[in-house]
Structure 1
């Protein structure tokens, strides 16, 4: 009985320590010993042409036919082009999701014949991977794809409101003629309506539905007529939708939609990269992946994985072992390579690279200055992590890199990486768990609340290791925090994905090409 009471008392003490450490550590930031300071802000350059936001240098030279990386894309009588230069129209220097305010921009230095579709809004000092489009009507014998609005409606103004602004801002909604739709707002610093030829509305069949996506700024003081929220938008349907890059204003007075563009050409994938252009893309942008110096579990060949417990499960069929090198699977790939999938979002292409591992051990758990080896907790056979490259179809330039990190991940801009040969991101695969990071340090995955089952498991590990005489603590060192911990570091174990990959799926191609 005394032993049971002692165990319960010990568990309560353990829970109390966890709660205290969680409160203390959640107010601190993970220590980053990476020697290179990386800039996480706009990196914008301003010259006589306008403001140029962070771009990733020149695109590689893409040989071959087709319309990929040609600068513009024909959606079907409507030629769209990525705008690179902007001029600031109006800004607020406070509030918003980051507390830094918001700025609104207008494309500048438009090529001849191109028209404005709306204005662009972004959170101050926060990088965005959005592509902002301008458009040109190239129809000859059909109904024009673009027309000027017939009027404007004032959606919201900052006039008379208390906020960190140097001048008042006015948000206008262009009123389209019949058969056309508005795809963007216009921002001014005057109460006078903008000129009707300032912006163009788009023929309705060239538009598609959107929904609110990322909140970029809002005002919630005073009566309801002053309340407003600004969002980016994203298409509801992925198949043929093309985002414009404009922002959506929502308040009590606005019930309008703000559609995106739509590809109406019979073959919608004509601006996607060819096999040879994919090879060029991989040579220029394929990641260079470092494994931890203490790593024991490396990417396995498909055949090894098939022979060590993998089963094929199909709906309505009895599970069966994978035969040979995967003869009964949809695709048969070479061993020990990264597996490459090409998918489309019409205006962008995504290149996903996945690595299969044979056995994955769990993370360590950081408790203040100490780290607990979790033993077999979380151990599982077979794990797939991936890196996704987002390359725009207009110029063929790398826009962002997605790093998978357990059940989630994050988009990282190219300039936040070390770069091999000036363009290839260096990625760090964490010890045992193989989640991906852009810098060689340690990372904490803090939970806002630990489940009771997690606490019991941690308590069990603590007592089991303590009773065995083995220290429960492993190298906590200079690290301090609370949560599951990933360690990433440089070593001689490296995977050059440009030299080791198989192209196993291209959504818009019937045949699949394998890199030798």
Structure 2
């Protein structure tokens, strides 16, 4: 193969340079051609995930309750590969194993920095360095050393600027005690650190990497079959999921604020969430109860597939639709207390997300949505089918449908382990949904999947709840002793609207995670 720097006439030089450096964009006739193969080549760079590190220095926590951080540098790199910056790991209970990208130059896409600038040092133990890239290049991360001596220029490589883009910064993993404005952030895209005062994070240009690295539909089908969750519902759950079409076909109504007393059968319009429309249950009580109960045999896991971590990983998101979210329940010491209608609402969307590395095709983490937030769980902490399979369990809470990786009880709003909180209760022995057998891919933009019309409905899937919280509490608390009344009242007063169910819920495309990374 001809070199990029061959002494051909200028015309042929540019022709061969383009064909060598950018042939990956044309050669990937089927998306996912490099998915799971161990490395990804695009635009003159070969990327690999790396997990072998040398510990450089540990920075202690700054204040009580803060986490310290340990800084690493990739070691034992394969021949021809270079680090892109230092790595860090916060001292928290849910810290994942260190992981960073390393790169090999295949066509003038990497360059050594021309110098380093010292940004900050901590009591002469940790020194933070900013690489100075040559023109046309940018640094993907900063360096940390235990010495005031400048790092060798050969220690890392910078990438061509057109291969990178700015990206949002997560919360810092560490900040300096002497200057709290100096913070250290970890790039989800590269696994490198970026330090400074409000430092901008750099990610891989997702539009370039997505085509090269993402799985095709055949590979997605295999991932779903191998890894999709078994969804466990509480044995006492009266409000199960259904398909969207079952909800529409069994009397659900569309309301508009221009004619609130003249609802229509479902034909939900697309558009922004302007409050002009909302969905609701049928008007007659018998049909209401039927729709509230859902219809598990019709239920589908609606799957959204998207690139994440700058295109180095794939998120497979499993969305479930419930026609109705049940009332909240409080626990006060040894007593379980039903809270009337508090927490009820129509149209509940919940999800779990499985994240796969585009390098080796393995599931790296699973996200469980819990009302307005959620958490990532590593595969080793998941619960699997007893036959030794790779499909994890997900448990939906009674009435509220938040997801957890194991059965048990979580108290929301609990203050200092006082035993008082809203019950998020999961249990074994109830109905189970096979998310592999009952699933449909509704969105994968990079594959051109045609989305169903209902997915474009951006308005509310239920009305804003109009009940009086104080009156509902009064019904509940009239039978409680004084101390318990005060405890329940204080608990409900500090709950967010998402738990109280006061606002009409929006559909999947209105969630912040739809177009961004799950957090």
Inter-partner Cα distance in structure 1 for 2:246 and 2:199? 56
- Residue 284, structure 1, aligned to residue 226, structure 2: yes
CA distance change for structure 1 residues 97 and 132 in 2, over 3 Å: closer, same or farther? farther
TM-score (normalizing by structure 2) = 0.68
Say yes or no: does 1:118 pair with 2:85.
Answer: yes
Compute the displacement of 1:302 (Å).
3.1
- Higher relative CO (Cα under 8 Å, sequence separation at least 6) belongs to 1
TM-score by length of 1: 0.68
Q: Does 1:504 align with 2:448?
A: no
Aligned structure 1 segments of 4 or more residues deviating by more than 6 angstroms: 313-319
Q: Distance in 2 between matches of 1:434 and 1:194?
A: 52
1:388 partnered with 2:331: no
2:110 is the counterpart of 1:146: yes
Structure 1 residues 152 and 442: alpha-carbon distance in aligned structure 2, compared to 1, 3 A threshold? same
Once residues 316 and 196 of structure 1 are traced to their aligned partners in structure 2, the CA distance between those partners, rounded to angstroms, is: 67
Displacement after TM superposition at 1:182 (Å): 1.5
Number of residues paired by the alignment? 390
Between the aligned partners of 1:64 and 1:262, the Cα distance in structure 2 is 17
Whether the 8 Å CA contact 1:433–1:486 is kept in 2: the answer is: yes
Secondary structure class of the residue paired with 1:284: helix
Q: Counterparts in 2 of 1:96-495, with a 5 A limit? A: 99-125=66-92, 126-128=94-96, 132-139=100-107, 144-159=108-123, 168-221=125-178, 224=179, 228-233=182-187, 243-251=189-197, 257-263=200-206, 265=208, 268-311=210-253, 320-322=264-266, 335-345=298-308, 346-420=311-385, 421-446=388-413, 481-495=419-433
Q: State the alpha-carbon separation in 1 of the partners of residues 199 and 245 from structure 2.
A: 55
Change (3 A) 1:190 1:355: same
3-state SS in 2 of match to 1:390: strand
Report the Cα offset of residue 281 of structure 1.
0.6
- Report the CA distance between 1:311 and its aligned residue: 4.3
CA contact (8 A) 1:119 1:186 kept: yes
For residues 436 and 166 of structure 2, what CA distance do their matches in structure 1 show? 38
Distance, in Å, in 1 between the alignment partners of 2:53 and 2:408 is 37
- Equivalent pair of 2:130/2:143 in contact (CA under 8 Å): yes
Do the aligned partners of 1:284 and 1:423 also contact (CA within 8 Å) in 2? Answer: yes
Within 2, Cα distance between the matches of 1:430 and 1:85? 39
Distance 1:313 1:354, change over 3 A: farther
Flag structure 1 segments of 5+ consecutive residues without an equivalent. 1-62, 161-167, 235-242, 449-478
Q: What CA RMSD, in Å, does the superposition of the two structures yield over aligned residues?
A: 3.2
Cα displacement (A) at 1:109:
2.3
Distance change in 2, residues 1:377/1:316 (3 Å): closer
Equivalent in the alignment of 1:20 = none
Contact 1:64 1:276 in 2 (8 A): no
C-alpha displacement of 1:268: 4.0
Change (3 A) 1:315 1:271: farther
2:67 and 2:199 mapped to 1: Cα distance?
Answer: 28
Give the drift of 1:157. 1.6
C-alpha separation in 2, matches of 1:348 and 1:276 = 17
Range moving further from structure 2, 505-514 or 200-209: 505-514
List per-residue Cα deviations over 1:386-431 (Å, max 9, x = no partner).
Answer: 1111112111111211111122222222222112234222111111
Q: Give CA deviations for 1:135-172 in whole Å, capped at 9, x if unaligned.
A: 11111xxxx21111111111122235xxxxxxx22221
Tell me: CA distance 1:513–1:113, structure 2 relative to 1, closer, same or farther (3 Å).
farther
On the 8 A contact 2:302/2:441 being kept in 1, the answer is yes
Please tell me whether the aligned partners of residues 96 and 218 of structure 1 are also in contact (alpha carbons under 8 angstroms). no
Change (3 A) 1:344 1:114: same
Q: Distance in 1 between matches of 2:165 and 2:150?
A: 27
Quick check: 1:503–1:512 contact (8 Å CA) kept in 2?
Answer: no
